[in-house]
Amino acid sequence: MRSIERHWQSITPVSALLYPLSLLYGAVAGFRRATSTSARLPVPVIVVGNLTVGGTGKTPLTLWLAEFLRARGRTPGIVSRGYGGHTDTPRRVFPDSNPLACGDEPILLARRSGCEVWVGADRVAAARALLAAGSACDVVLSDDGLQHYPLERDVEICLIDGERGLGNGWLLPAGPLRESPARIAGVDAIVINGSARHPSIAHLPGGAARFAMALEGREFRNLLNPGKTAGAELFRGKRVHAVAGIGNPQRFFSHLQALGLDFTAHPFPDHHPFAATDLAYPDSDAVVMTEKDAVKCKPFAAESHWELAVDAVPDPGLGELVLKKITKR
What is the pTM (predicted TM-score) of this model? 0.94
Residues 195-218 pLDDT 10s: 999 999 999 999 999 999 999 999
DSSP result, 208-261: -EEEEEEEE---EEESSSTT-EE-GGGGTTS-EEEEE-SS-HHHHHHHHHHTT-
The size of the chain, in residues, is 329
Mean pLDDT of 16-35: 94
Residues 228-279 pLDDT 10s: 999 999 999 999 999 999 989 999 999 999 999 999 999 999 999 999 999 9
Mean pLDDT of 109-114: 95
Q: How confident is the model at residue 87 (pLDDT cuts 50, 70, 90)?
A: confident
Residues 315-324 pLDDT 10s: 999 999 999 9
Q: How confident is the model at residue 1 (pLDDT cuts 50, 70, 90)?
A: low
- The pLDDT of residue 2 is 62
- The pLDDT of residue 83 is 81
The answer to whether the peptide bond before residue 273 is cis (omega within 30 degrees of 0) is no
- Give the pairing of strands 189-193 and 240-244: unpaired
CA distance 94 to 219: 24
- The pLDDT of residue 103 is 92
Say which DSSP state 314 is in.
E
Structural domains present in the chain: 13-74+138-215+313-328 (3.40.50), 218-309 (3.40.120)
Assign 308 to helix, strand or coil.
strand
Q: How confident is the model at residue 82 (pLDDT cuts 50, 70, 90)?
A: confident
CA distance 1 to 323: 38
Mean pLDDT of 72-82: 95
Contact by Cβ (8 Å): 44, 329: yes
Contact by Cβ (8 Å): 245, 272: yes
Contact by Cβ (8 Å): 69, 325: no
Q: How far is CA 40 from CA 29, 137, 230, in A?
A: 22, 15, 46
Mean pLDDT of 63-89: 92
CA distance 6 to 17: 14
Chain mean position to CA 293: 13
